[in-house]
Amino acid sequence: MSLLAVENLQKSFGGLHALNGATFDIVPNKINLLIGANGSGKSTLVNTVSGLWAPDGGTVTLRGEDITGLQPDEIFHHGIMRTFQIPRHFANLSVMENMLMAHRGPGEIFRNALTPSRWRHFESEQTKKAITILESIELAHLKDKLSFEISGGQIKLLELGKTLMSKSDIIMLDEPIAGVNPTLALKIFDKIRTMTGSGITFLIIEHRLDIALRYADYVFVMHEGRIIARDKPDVILDNEDVRESYLGK
């Protein structure tokens, strides 16, 4: 049985077919890299699978269960978490508070944010876990900063940290290393690779192929709303359609 399968997914904006029959099957416990030209539909795919937008057609199946069109909260409770290309976080909460709330669903996070007494007394176990994760993404020294006080790259890291804090077993990251320096970007992918060893499956959108291809186990190529190729990185780089549609060679 597939872990996460997408079949013939459709999503249009007016006359524009952002998803036009996207079909793929994620490989469990691996780094699945999703690449493709700007506007090819990558973020739309993640937005649709994660419940942000209902698809116009097609199905999303998780371990054989049809989860098409469920709300983001329900998808989260099925063990799928995602980050946004343009990060969404609580600017008026500290880095640590953002982390501590991340093991709850999106709706709950919002409700709890409005009533601080509900999240101030977190057990130290959660706090310790948050600190370990923050150390690994080099944000520990900023834990008490309000998140509007940290840089754009650091906000990207916080988004990643939140996914690691959750108990999700499928994590979808939309450009996790955009704006992150190369040394730290490598460390982030090292961390992601380690996590695949503990049963977490990643679907990662990334344009920084110099780094991402070193870590990807499988690469999926999107072109005009469809997956046109799926293979190991070295095979993908030799694929003529891919070179034409994305690499421009």
Ligand X SMILES: Nc1ncnc2c1ncn2[C@@H]1O[C@H](COP(=O)(O)OP(=O)(O)OP(=O)(O)O)[C@@H](O)[C@H]1O
Q: Please state the closest distance from residue 34 (CB atom) to ligand X, in A.
A: 9
- 168 close to 81: Cβ distance less than 8 angstroms: yes
Site for ligand X contains 198 (CB under 6 A) = no
Site for ligand X contains 43 (CB under 6 A) = yes
- 223 close to 230: Cβ distance less than 8 angstroms: no
Give me Rg for the CA atoms of the chain. Answer: 18
- Residue 48 near which of Mg ion, ligand X, none (CB within 5-8 Å, type-dependent): none
Structure tokens at 188: 């982030």
Give me the sheet containing 16-25, strands edge to edge: 16-25, 4-13, 57-62, 65-66
Site for ligand X contains 115 (CB under 6 A) = no
Q: Please state the closest distance from residue 72 (CB atom) to ligand X, in A.
A: 15
- Residue 36 near which of Mg ion, ligand X, none (CB within 5-8 Å, type-dependent): ligand X
Residue 163 contacts by C-beta under 8 Å, 6 or more apart in sequence?
A: 81, 82, 83, 102, 171, 173
Site for ligand X contains 29 (CB under 6 A) = no
Residue 70 contacts by C-beta under 8 Å, 6 or more apart in sequence?
A: 51, 78
- Residue 72 near which of ligand X, Mg ion, none (CB within 5-8 Å, type-dependent): none
Site for ligand X contains 44 (CB under 6 A) = yes
Give the nearer residue to ligand X in terms of CB position, either 147 or 245.
Answer: 245
Run of H or E residues at 61: strand 57-62
Give the footprint of ligand X on residues 52-91 (CB under 6 A): 85
- The secondary structure of residue 248, as a DSSP letter, is -
The full DSSP string for 149-201 is GS-HHHHHHHHHHHHHHS--SEEEEESTTTTS-HHHHHHHHHHHHHHHTTT-E
Residues in the site for Mg ion, rule: CB under 5 A?
42-43, 85
Site for ligand X contains 12 (CB under 6 A) = no
Stretch touching ligand X by CB under 6 A, among 31-39, 100-108, 117-125, 165-173: 31-39
Site for ligand X contains 38 (CB under 6 A) = yes
Position 38: which residue type? Answer: N
Give the nearer residue to Mg ion in terms of CB position, either 42 or 82.
Answer: 42
Instruction: Burial-class residue 156 by CB neighbours within 10 Å (0-12, 13-18, 19+).
Output: buried
- Residue 40 near which of Mg ion, ligand X, none (CB within 5-8 Å, type-dependent): ligand X
Give the nearer residue to ligand X in terms of CB position, either 14 or 199.
Answer: 14
Q: Please state the closest distance from residue 63 (CB atom) to Mg ion, in A.
A: 27
Binding string, 143-182, against ligand X, x = CB under 6 A?
A: ----------------------------------------
The residues that touch ligand X, with contacts defined as CB under 6 A, are: 13, 16, 18, 36, 38-44, 85
